[in-house]
């Protein structure tokens, strides 16, 4: 049996999505900028995808820019908005994905770039944020859901603080882990830009989008043929867009992911007893698809490799940084004790994860935990 529990790293495209991509590659391969009739079909597909995204986010479909994925969307939002601004403060939250962190840090020579701390549950420390918001704040970057802990950030409260203390500041939200899994109303909440990625919701890799509010003035990062209203040149990735549209259309928003996750949580708690710790918010309050927990003293890599042998795939922290051997920045920002952090395993589910799969994974975890807990560093 195989059990893939690393859906925050990437998801498996559904057969429906794969068919849509294939059809687009074989039949609808025309360049959407071409003047003959078949090219119009490609363009229509793009418009339909823009509409679907805009509807999901309560935004204007004219402000949807297709990108190669979440990283490019984040980069475009941060560097593209700040290109025409002279000085001021840029804020990003302590557990942001490197796509946001690195883009913000690259602005250090022109802006006062500061980090917004987390509280112990991995959410934004609102009091600290309030003290960081000054009238000269230009940009606030906050992710919708943290990719490692599943903590859901307090976007409405953050937008309200922005409106009160620095109404000119733009609020950029990295929605890569939240899109389709949590409702978003960009207009009502006051979000200025929102980045999303296809491959986290069963679409292919290589497609994403940046959605902006009307008050955002972007400067292009990729220059060329003037596609995407001159904001992102390059022939559009029509198979990716077809796949993204198919994924949005068929994403099962009504699902029992939370129940499946709580089922996993309860069983793991029972296995490790008082050495079980959740890294992040109470599982009932976090995103339904992510559970980050530690079963001390078994180190994350040991558990991960042992499970790999059973066909169970999980992550230690974020896949983007697991090649670096150090404690994850997110867990460090939450001041998780080192020993607990060293055992942190992230389980991430999809709406298609079944209770049977979880039971299989749990039986493997129980076996490995009982065996490896005997060998603790003295």
Instruction: Return the active site residues.
Output: 320
Indicate whether 338 belongs to the interface with other proteins (CB under 8 A).
no
Which of 308, 337, 367, 370 touches other proteins (CB under 8 A)?
Answer: 308
d(CA 239, CA 207): 9
Site string for other proteins, 210-229 (x = CB under 8 A): --------------------
Q: Does 368 bind other proteins (CB under 8 A)?
A: yes
Query: Contacting other proteins (CB under 8 A), which of 86, 215, 338, 377?
Result: 377
Q: Provide the minimum distance between the beta carbon of 10 and other proteins in the complex, in angstroms, as a whole number.
A: 18
Q: Is the peptide bond before 37 cis (omega within 30 degrees of 0)?
A: no
Using CB under 8 A as the binding rule, whether residue 367 contacts other proteins is answered as no
Q: Total residues contacting other proteins (rule CB under 8 A)?
A: 18
**In which region does residue 358 sit, left (phi positive, over 0), alpha (psi from -120 to 50) or beta (all else)?**
alpha
Query: Minimum distance from CB of 368 to other proteins (Å)?
Result: 8
d(CA 164, CA 20): 46
Q: Which residues contact 31 (CB under 8 A, 6 or more apart)?
A: 39, 42, 235
Asked whether the beta carbons of 325 and 234 are under 8 A apart, the reply is no
302 interacts with other proteins by CB under 8 A: yes
Choices 12-20, 43-51, 168-176, 299-307 (CB under 8 A): range interacting with other proteins: 299-307
Residue 324 touching other proteins (CB under 8 A): yes
CB 245 within 8 A of CB 51: no
Nearer to other proteins among residue 86 and residue 326 (C-beta): 326
Closest CB to other proteins among residues 215, 338 = 338
Distance in Å, CB of 305 to other proteins, minimum = 4
Long-range pairs, 277-280, Cβ under 8 A, ≥24? 277/340, 279/122, 279/148, 279/149, 279/331, 279/334, 279/336, 279/340, 279/341, 279/344, 280/121, 280/122, 280/146, 280/148, 280/149, 280/150, 280/151, 280/334
Best CA proximity match to 314, nearest among 278, 270, 365, 257: 365
301 binds other proteins per the rule CB under 8 A: yes
Q: Distance between CA 225 and CA 222 in Å, rounded?
A: 10
The closest of 296, 291, 259 to 377, measured between CA atoms, is 296
Report the 10 Å Cβ neighbour count for 170: 25
| Residue in 61, 97, 84, 33 with CA at minimum distance from that of residue 221 | 84
CB of 299 to other proteins, least distance (A): 7
Interface stretch with other proteins, choices 45-53, 113-121, 265-273, 295-303 (CB under 8 A): 295-303
- Judged by beta carbon, residue 162 or residue 368, the one nearer other proteins is 368
Shortest CB 94 distance to other proteins, Å: 23
We find the least distance from the C-beta atom of residue 2 to other proteins, in angstroms, to be 16
Contact 66, 90 (CB under 8 A): no
Interface with other proteins, residue 378, by CB under 8 A: yes
Residue 299 binding other proteins, by CB under 8 A: yes
Site for other proteins in 120-159 (CB under 8 A): none
For the chain, first and last CA: distance in Å? 36
The reply to whether 376 sits near other proteins by the rule CB under 8 A is: yes
Residues in contact with other proteins by CB under 8 A are 299, 301-306, 308-309, 323-325, 368, 374-378
């Amino acid at each position: 049996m195989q059990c893939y529990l690393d859906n925050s790293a990437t998801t498996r495209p559904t057969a429906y999505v794969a068919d849509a991509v294939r059809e687009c590659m074989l039949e609808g391969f025309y360049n959407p900028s071409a003047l003959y009739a078949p090219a119009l079909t490609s363009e229509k597909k793009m418009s339909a995808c823009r509409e679907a995204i805009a509807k999901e986010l309560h935004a204007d479909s004219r402000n949807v820019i297709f990108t190669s994925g979440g990283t490019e969307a984040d980069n475009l939002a941060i560097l593209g908005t700040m290109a025409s601004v002279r000085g001021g403060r840029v804020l990003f939250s302590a557990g942001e994905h490197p796509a946001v962190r690195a883009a913000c840090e690259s602005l250090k020579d022109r802006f006062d770039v500061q980090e917004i701390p987390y509280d112990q549950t991995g959410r934004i420390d609102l009091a600290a944020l309030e003290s960081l918001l000054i009238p000269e704040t230009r940009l606030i970057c906050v992710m919708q859901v943290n990719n490692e802990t599943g903590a859901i950030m307090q976007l409405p409260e953050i937008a309200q603080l922005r409106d009160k203390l620095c109404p000119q500041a733009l609020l950029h939200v990295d929605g890569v882990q939240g899109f389709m899994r949590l409702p978003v109303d960009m207009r009502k909440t006051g979000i200025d830009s929102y980045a999303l990625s296809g491959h986290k919701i069963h679409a292919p890799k290589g497609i994403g989008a940046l959605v902006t509010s009307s008050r955002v003035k972007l400067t292009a990062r990729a220059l060329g043929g003037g596609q995407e209203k001159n904001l992102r040149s390059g022939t559009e990735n029509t198979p990716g867009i077809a796949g993204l549209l198919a994924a949005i259309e068929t994403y099962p928003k009504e699902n029992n992911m939370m129940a499946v996750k709580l089922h996993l949580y309860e069983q793991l708690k029972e296995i490790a007893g008082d050495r079980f710790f959740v890294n992040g918010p109470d599982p009932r309050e976090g995103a339904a698809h992510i559970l980050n927990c530690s079963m001390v003293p078994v180190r994350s890599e040991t558990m991960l490799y042992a499970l790999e042998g059973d066909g169970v795939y999980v992550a230690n922290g974020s896949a983007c940084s697991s090649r670096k051997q150090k404690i994850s920045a997110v867990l460090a920002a939450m001041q998780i004790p080192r020993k607990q952090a060293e055992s942190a395993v992230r389980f991430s589910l999809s709406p298609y994860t079944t209770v049977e799969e979880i039971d299989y994974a749990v039986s493997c975890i129980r076996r490995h935990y009982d065996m490896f807990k005997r060998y603790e560093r003295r």
